[in-house]
Amino acid sequence: MGIEDKEYLQLLGNRVRDFRKAMGLTQEKLAELAGISPTYVSNIEIGKYNVTVCVIKRISASLHVPAAQLFDFNSGKVERDELIKTVVEIKSLNSKEQKLILETIKGMLVGIKE
């Protein structure tokens, strides 16, 4: 495996770790949700393993993010973490509160686009 591959795997591992932490999950909990071992999660996060597409699919589902976001190495970490935390907070609300927030956001988007 060339240096470029190792760097790519490290970037992917960093993204998995960042999303996991932003979601407030331990490696053990992510492993449980994704159906893999905690050691496997650890090795992914340090860039040691070349992960299969199927494992990426399970990890992204467990983190509630599209798989493509795990490969978006150019997005801003702070902004992304803030957004993820907000989404997690919204998911913890009841259905009525979620609908209210959604309608508020939609109204704001209309105002921004005008």
Q: Which CATH architecture has domain 1-74?
A: Orthogonal Bundle (1.10)
Residues whose CB falls within 8 Å of the CB of residue 67, separated by 6 or more in sequence, listed in order: 56, 57, 60
In terms of pTM, does the model score above 0.85? no
The model's pLDDT over 22-80, given as tens digits with 9 standing for 90+, comes to 888 999 999 999 999 999 999 999 999 999 999 999 999 999 999 998 998 876 665 66
| Helix (H) / strand (E) containing 110 | helix 95-113
Give the domain ranges of the chain. 1-74, 76-114
